[in-house]
Amino acid sequence: MSSVLDALVVGAGPAGSSAAAAIAAAGGSVVLLEKQAFPRSKTCGGGLVWRGRQRLPANFRLPVQSECRSARLCWRSASSGVRVEREWPIVTMTLRSELDQALARHAVSAGATLLEQSPLLGLERDGNLWKARIAKETLRARTVIAADGATGVTARMAGWRDTLASIPALEAELERGTHVAEEALFDFADVDQGYAWCFPKREQLSVGILSMRRGTQGLRESLDRWLVRRGLSQLAVREVAGYIIPVRPRAVLARNGCLLAGDAAGLVDPLTAEGISLALISGEAAGRAALSPEPERAYRRELERDVLPELRAARFLAGLVYRRRALADWVLRRGEQAACEAMVAVISGERGYRDFLRSPKVWAKLLLR
pTM of the model: 0.92
**pLDDT value of residue 179:** 62
Topology of domain 66-93+165-246, CATH: D-Amino Acid Oxidase; Chain A, domain 2 (3.30.9)
**pLDDT value of residue 239:** 83
Does the domain spanning 5-59+95-164+248-313 belong to CATH 3.50.50.60? yes
**pLDDT value of residue 364:** 57
**pLDDT value of residue 368:** 53
**What is the 3-class SS of the chain, one letter each residue?**
CCCCEEEEEECCCHHHHHHHHHHHHCCCCEEEECCCCCCCCCCCCCEEEHHHHCCCCCCCCCCCCEEECEEEEECCCCCCCEEEECCCCCEEECCHHHHHHHHHHHHHHHCCEEECCCCCCEEEEECCEEEEECCCCEEEEEEEEECCCCCCCHHHHCCCCCCCCEEEEEEEEEECCCCCCCCEEEECCCCCCEEEEEEECCCEEEEEEEECCCCCCCHHHHHHHHHHHCCCCCCCEEEEEEEEEECCCCCCCEECCEEECHHHHCCCCCCCCCCHHHHHHHHHHHHHHHCCCCHHHHHHHHHHHHHHHHHHHHHHHHHHHHHCHHHHHHHHHHHHHHHHHHHHHHHCCCCCHHHHHHCHHHHHHHHCC
**pLDDT value of residue 158:** 96
**pLDDT value of residue 260:** 98
pLDDT in tens, the chain (369 residues): 558 999 999 999 999 999 999 999 999 999 999 999 998 887 777 889 999 999 998 889 999 998 999 998 888 765 678 899 999 999 999 988 999 999 999 999 999 999 999 999 999 999 999 999 999 899 999 999 999 999 999 999 999 999 898 988 999 988 877 666 688 999 888 787 888 999 988 888 899 999 887 666 788 888 998 898 888 888 888 888 888 899 899 999 999 999 999 999 999 999 999 999 999 999 999 999 999 999 999 999 999 998 999 999 999 888 888 877 777 777 766 677 887 888 888 888 888 888 877 766 655 555 555
Residue range(s) of every CATH 3.30.9.10 domain in the chain: 66-93+165-246
**pLDDT value of residue 338:** 80
Residue range(s) of every CATH 3.50.50.60 domain in the chain: 5-59+95-164+248-313
